[in-house]
């Protein structure tokens, strides 16, 4: 019996030694197979579009395919939960944004901590919204739209990407600013919401230039203002909210990448280096800026910077969201 025990202990020790040796080797060899990028919203919205651009660019740097998996539902909480529960080996990463990784923590009862249960990889870019309306909307400028909203009140419908999504939160803040209330219609993505705006089933929408600008340029929908302090370069004819008649109403939201908690630091460093290289590439930068993205400076693209930024955003926005009474339905 003693001999068998000694043999068992020796085998266990040998296995531990092998695992200790192989662990760093696996990190050094990473990635040796395709990576899955979870996009927690349905296809067609800006989060999906931007995620695919970054997946393609990062894939070239890592030498392995990055497969985008859209996991939609509950304003992104289902996809974020999937990512949080994934094996922390670098083969599952999360492409998230302000709504999925900040606002949802104030709106939904999540079984994890958005800040501390993920490994930050890189902060990528930020963007404003356009204030849009169906093409048959009689208003021709923002002041006329505000007058129409006041006249129609709760009969007005606004499409959003779901409860707690940036478009929903921005819509509630717009209601509060104007002292109005309208019907919020929740969809699984901005792309789906835009389809109904195009069809005239909804009246107004807050949406990113990445999604709505092609339709604005074709005349399929109307755009009244950009929710920023400055006009955007790709649509300089669209005035800011300050210029158009809703001074002080600004809303931006950003995108970033995370991995499950416990992903080895060496792998996080490789993913970050690939993201940074992608953001420095002129072709990738042009694809992003053509969609009205403002790319963060190099010193804000580190994991440490993303953690600090996300923490500051949670501290800023959770009280605002809770005060506005935004809750999961």
* Tens digits of residue pLDDT in 123-177: 999 999 999 999 999 999 999 999 999 999 999 999 998 888 899 999 999 999 9
Q: What is the pLDDT confidence band of residue 24, given thresholds at 50, 70 and 90?
A: very low
For residues 146 and 246, the answer to whether their CB atoms sit within 8 Å is: yes
Given this chain, do its domains 11-126+254-323 and 128-244 carry the same CATH topology? yes
Q: Please state the φ and ψ torsions of residue 201, each to the nearest 5 degrees.
A: -75, -25
Answer left, alpha or beta for residue 325, where phi above 0 means left and psi between -120 and 50 means alpha: left
Q: Write out pLDDT tens, residues 249-300.
A: 999 999 999 999 999 999 999 999 999 999 999 999 999 999 999 999 999 9
Other Cβ atoms less than 10 A from the Cβ of 61: the count is 16
For residues 223 and 132, the answer to whether their CB atoms sit within 8 Å is: yes
pTM of the predicted structure, to 2 decimals? 0.83
Q: Write out pLDDT tens, residues 288-314.
A: 999 999 999 999 999 999 999 999 999
CATH 3.30.565.10 fits 11-126+254-323, yes or no: no
Domain range annotation of the chain: 11-126+254-323, 128-244
Query: Could you identify the residue written with the tokens 């296809």?
Result: 43
Cα(260)–Cα(84) distance, rounded to whole angstroms?
5
SS (H, E, C) the chain: CHHHHHHHHHHHHHHHHHHHHHHHHHHHHCCCCCEEEEECCCCCCHHHHHHHHHHHHHHHHHCCCEEEEECCCHHHHHHHHHHHCCCCCCCEEEEEEHHHHHHHHHHCCCCCCCCCCEEEEEEEEEEECEEEEECCCCCCCHHHHHHHHHHHHHHCEEEECCCCCHHHHHHHHHHHHHCCCCEEEECCCHHHHHHHHHCCCCCEEEECHHHHHHHHHHCCEEEEEECCCCCCCCCCCCCEHHHHCCCCCCCEEEEEEEEECCCCHHHHHHHHHHHHHHHHCHHHHHHHHCCCCEECCHHHCCHHHHHHHHHHHHHHHHHHHHHCCCCCC
Q: Order of strands, edge to edge, in the sheet holding 66-70?
A: 66-70, 35-39, 92-97, 252-260, 118-128, 294-295
Q: What does CATH list as the number for 128-244?
A: 3.40.190.10
Least confident window among 60-74, 117-131, 185-199: 185-199
């Amino acid at each position: 019996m003693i001999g068998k025990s000694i043999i068992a202990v020796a085998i266990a020790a040998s296995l531990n030694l092998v695992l200790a040796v192989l662990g760093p080797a696996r990190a050094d060899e990473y990635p040796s197979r395709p990576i899955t990028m979870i996009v927690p919203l349905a296809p067609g919205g800006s989060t999906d579009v931007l995620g695919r651009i970054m997946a393609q660019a990062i894939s070239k740097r890592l030498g392995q395919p990055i497969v985008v998996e859209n996991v939609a539902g509950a304003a992104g909480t289902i996809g974020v939960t999937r990512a949080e529960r994934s094996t922390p080996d670098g083969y599952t990463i999360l492409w998230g944004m302000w709504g999925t990784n900040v606002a949802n923590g104030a709106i939904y009862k999540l079984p994890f901590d958005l800040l501390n249960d993920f490994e930050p990889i890189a902060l990528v870019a930020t963007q404003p919204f356009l204030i849009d309306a169906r093409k048959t909307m009689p208003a021709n400028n923002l002041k006329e739209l505000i007058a129409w909203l006041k006249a129609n009140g709760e009969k007005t419908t606004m499409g959003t990407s779901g409860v707690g999504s940036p478009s929903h939160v921005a819509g509630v803040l717009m209601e509060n600013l104007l002292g109005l209330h309208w019907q919020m219609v929740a969809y699984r993505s901005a792309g789906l919401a835009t389809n109904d705006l195009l069809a005239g089933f909804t009246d107004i929408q807050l949406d990113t230039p990445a999604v709505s600008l092609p339709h604005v340029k074709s005349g399929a929908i109307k755009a009244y203002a950009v929710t920023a302090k400055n006009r955007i370069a790709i649509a300089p004819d669209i005035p800011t909210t300050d210029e158009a008649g809703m001074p002080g109403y600004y809303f931006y939201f950003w995108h970033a990448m995370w991995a499950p908690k416990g992903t080895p630091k060496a792998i996080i460093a490789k993913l970050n280096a690939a993201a940074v290289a992608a953001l420095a590439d002129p072709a990738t930068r042009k694809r992003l800026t053509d969609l009205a993205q403002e790319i963060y400076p190099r010193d804000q693209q580190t994991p440490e910077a993303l953690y600090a930024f996300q923490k500051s955003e949670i501290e800023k926005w959770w009280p605002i969201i809770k005060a506005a009474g935004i809750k999961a339905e």
